[in-house]
Amino acid sequence: MAILITKDTRVICQGITGAFGASHTRGCLHYGSQIVGGVTPGKGGTKDENGLPIFDTVHQAVKATGANATMIFVPPPFAGDAILEAACAGIKVVCAITEGIPVQDMITARAQLDSLNTRSEDVSQNPWDKVVLIGPNCPGVITPGPKTGGGTGPKDPYTNAGCKIGIMPGYIHTHISEAKRGKSVGIVSRSGTLTYEAVWQTSRMGLAQSTCVGIGGDPVRGVNHIDVIRMLEADPDTHAILMIGEIGGSDEIETAAYIKKHVKKPVAAFIAGRTAPPGRRMGHAGAIIGGADDTADAKIAALKAAGVSMAMSPADMGSAMLAAMKLS
Amino acid sequence: MKIHEYQARDLLAQYGIPVPAGQMVTSVEQAAQAFKAVTAGMEAPLAVVKAQVHAGGRGKAGFVKLVKTPQDAETAVRFMLTHRMVSPQTPPEGLEVTKVLIAAGVDIADRAGGGKEEFYLAVTTDRRTRRNILIASREGGVDIEHVAATKPDAIIKEPIHPIAGLQAFQGRDIAARLGFTGRGLSQAADIMQRLARLFVEKDCTLAEINPLIITSGGGAGGAGGAGVVTAIDAKFSFDENGLFRHKDLAALADPAEQNAAEARAHKFGLSYVALDGNIGCLVNGAGLAMATMDIIKLHGGEPANFLDVGGSATEEAVTEAFSIILSDARVKGVLVNIFGGIMRCDVIAQGIINAASNFKNADGSTGFKVPLVVRLEGTNVDAGRKLLEQSRGKLPTLQAGADLTDAASKVCAAVN
């Protein structure tokens, strides 16, 4: 099952003719994702280097290909609009990779997305019932499949039963059929490369990943930790949850309260930025310490109190996960 | 991005928010004329002379002065332009002042029940609710963090609708709760709406007026008599992601206020923050870069910087990153931590080799002298490791880190 995406997910790329869009479309095809087309306004009717049809609008692409997910590489000035275009065209999973979207654009885009979903005050309910936004400024989402090919091209994909939407290296992930310990971990993270690190550590320790979701480093974004953890908790193929947070905002504090109340599966976590000085933005627009809840120490304390197994070093994410699963 | 107070005043004026007359000067010679201009028409001329630096703590440091004559204005400006300003918010050696604002003095009306009619007004983004919010308080003129800590009830927070903006009735409601009455009520409400509009249109992350005051009958110049709701000081910061549509604001950035290394890094698409330690870090990804700083500290070291080379760095950018890291004389060792995703490990390896080949030391020799620990993982890792092995001759101080812990302990051992 996994969450959000499976081998049957039909994916388009918005911004497919740009350098990044083209190279990552290729990367996803090589992994084995069903990329069914792309959108670049004004280039409709042409084909990309892989022979994929290009459309002028997402609406046309959905109609012609039955796409239900999108990967957005549209440049920042137009990315907020691209997110809404996908949502309004009926796409279910919108994954925005673009980095550098103005906060004000995301505030209005989020408000309009929220009006498409049935949102409730009850945190046990999924507020993303119609359309899910992942990102922006994120590595994407992957549901790994077993290695069945060389990963050298669309005719020889890495897997015939997985889906990768985004920029992460596919081969570091492990499918449950190939995991020594026979257990799958769901991973949710605000950071890209730190997620790869966590995937790598869990893979090396004999664990598989069910689905890995990079929620992105921006202050106003789509799904947050709670949203993904709610989905992972409900997913029968996920046996444990690994969460990677960082300084800035109070998302992890609220997630700790949610975990304490609603999550039965083992949870491990790492919070990056314990040594970051207050008031300085650490790369991610959202990674800046403002209030008291923003600090790594406050987040670590709240998660510990919720019974989460904490990795104090980024090198210990895999072992903290094993400890939470009582496998160490 | 931040701007100076004199620029913030211009922005307020552009949006029709009253500010006292003011002029920015850069030399002692301009001071007397500016004083006369901003105090024109005042019975008892009074002006405030304020150093234009981004750091706070100006008043206590002696860089905000009240003056009553053109001569006093000159003396104050001379002092500020020839002394470095040192406050708890500046580096220990202080900041050079190159610009000084001379603004008309304003008499603040007395508040019934004691004190002065000073208020706090700001708009910022609340990430939890994903809304812009207006923050207001009757406790103006002081540090809002102090008010929040001691009298949280004295702070009003009003969410702003993401599409409709701040409504007129919301402004009136807040103004009434702040104690505004009569003419002041609609003036304050109008200022709130204008500030909220400015915040969104200019892609601010903070738009703050502190204090917002009511003028007394003292006949202060510039803002037009008594009973006028006026902004005395303002602070803005802007979303750098939004600057592409505000060429006018981008032009206001003061290069003198930027760390030279950080500005240089920015040009090459690198995200760099200087810190106090002695271990330079070169990492791809912001989260991994923070985590690398954390693990250095766990192993008893101190990171010299945060540096994210980003996902698509070229060999040139890697070379530049090394030269920025090593330009900090305190750096006694460098840790490279790369988990290749989009970024290919062979590109990083080639960048390291090129950087070493081109790096000139102060004594004229070439190559890195400080210990270098490189940990590579991910896309094209084998090619990357092979390249480094083949270039050992050019990298005499190189050690390979097998994993994060190994790399961190090696670099910490090497510098201590």
The whole-number mean pLDDT for each consecutive block of 10 residues of chain B, a chain of 416 residues, reads 91 96 95 95 92 86 94 96 88 88 93 92 92 94 81 91 96 97 96 98 95 77 72 92 91 76 84 91 93 95 92 82 90 94 88 89 85 92 94 92 95 92
Q: Which of B163, B308, B341 sits opposite A139 (nearest CB)?
A: B341
Give residue A285's pLDDT. Answer: 64
Q: What is the pTM of this model?
A: 0.91
- How far is the C-alpha of A232 from the C-alpha of A239, rounded, in Å? 9
pLDDT of residue B314: 81
The H or E element spanning position B235 is strand B234-238
φ/ψ of B129, rounded to 5, equals -95, -5
DSSP string, B195-212: HHHHHHHTTEEEEEEEEE
For residues B204 and A206, give the distance between their C-alpha atoms in angstroms, rounded to a whole number: 47
Instruction: Report the residue of B241, B271, B314, B347 to disrupt the A interface, i.e. the one with the largest count of A CBs within 10 Å.
Output: B241
Residue type, A269: A
The answer to whether A20 contacts B312, with C-beta atoms less than 8 Å apart, is yes
Is the per-residue pLDDT at A42 higher than 70? yes
Region A58-62: mean pLDDT is 98
Residue B286 and residue A100 in contact, taking contact as beta carbons nearer than 8 Å: no
Three state DSSP letters for B30-42: HHHHHHHHHCCCC
Task: Select from B249, B369, B273, B288 the least CA-distant residue to B324.
Answer: B273
Instruction: Please give the backbone phi and psi of residue B303, each rounded to the nearest 5 degrees, phi first.
Output: -70, 140
CB contacts < 8 A (A, B) = 166
Contact residues, B window 185-204, toward A, CB-based 8 Å cutoff: 200, 203
Residue of chain B whose alpha carbon sits nearest to that of A111: B162
Facing residue for A275 by CB, picked from B244, B288, B303 = B303
Residue B35, class by beta-carbon neighbours within 10 Å (0-12 exposed, 13-18 middle, 19+ buried)?
buried
Q: Which residue of A has its CA nearest to B407?
A: A315
Residue B219 confidence (pLDDT): 47
Single-letter amino acid code for the residue at B165: G
Determine what percent of chain A is predicted with pLDDT higher than 90.
87
Number of other CB atoms surrounding residue A115 within 10 Å: 9
Report pLDDT for A293.
74
- Report the pLDDT value the prediction gives residue A289, as an integer from 0 to 100: 63
Q: Are A280 and B273 in contact (CB under 8 A)?
A: yes
Span A100-113, average pLDDT: 96
What is the predicted pLDDT for the residue at A147?
Answer: 96
Whether A77 has its CB under 8 Å from any CB of chain B: the answer is yes
Tokens of A279: 């008031």
Name the residue with higher pLDDT: A285 or A114.
Answer: A114
Of B241, B285, B377, the CB nearest to A200: B377
Q: Other CB atoms closer than 10 Å to residue B206's CB: what's the count?
A: 16
CA distance B390 to B396: 12
Count of Cβ atoms closer than 10 Å to residue B341 Cβ: 23
Average pLDDT over chain A reads 94
Query: How far apart are the C-alpha atoms of A278 and A288, rounded to whole Å?
Result: 7
Hey, is the C-beta of B378 within 8 angstroms of any chain A C-beta?
Answer: yes
Q: Are B261 and B331 in contact (CB under 8 A)?
A: no
Nearest CA in chain B to A270: B291
CB contact burial B243-274 (16+ within 10 A = b; e otherwise): beebeebeebbbeebeeebbebbeebebbbbb
Closest-CA residue to A76 (of A90, A96, A59, A93): A96
pLDDT value at residue A286:
67
Distance between CA atoms of residues A172 and A183, nearest Å: 16
Minimal CA separation from A64 to chain B, in Å: 30
For range A299-308, the mean pLDDT: 97
Give the separation between CA A215 and CA B140, rounded to whole angstroms.
38
B79: distance to nearest CA of chain A, Å? 30
Which pLDDT does position B205 carry in this prediction? 93
Tell me how far apart the alpha carbons of residues A231 and A233 are, in angstroms, rounded to a whole number: 5
3-state secondary structure (DSSP) of residue A74: coil
Selection from A78-92, A114-128, B139-153, B335-349 with the highest mean pLDDT: A78-92
Q: Flag whether residue A187 sits within 8 Å of chain B, measured between CB atoms.
A: no
What is the rounded CA–CA span in Å between residue A114 and residue B102? Answer: 48
pLDDT band with cut points at 50, 70 and 90 for residue A194: very high
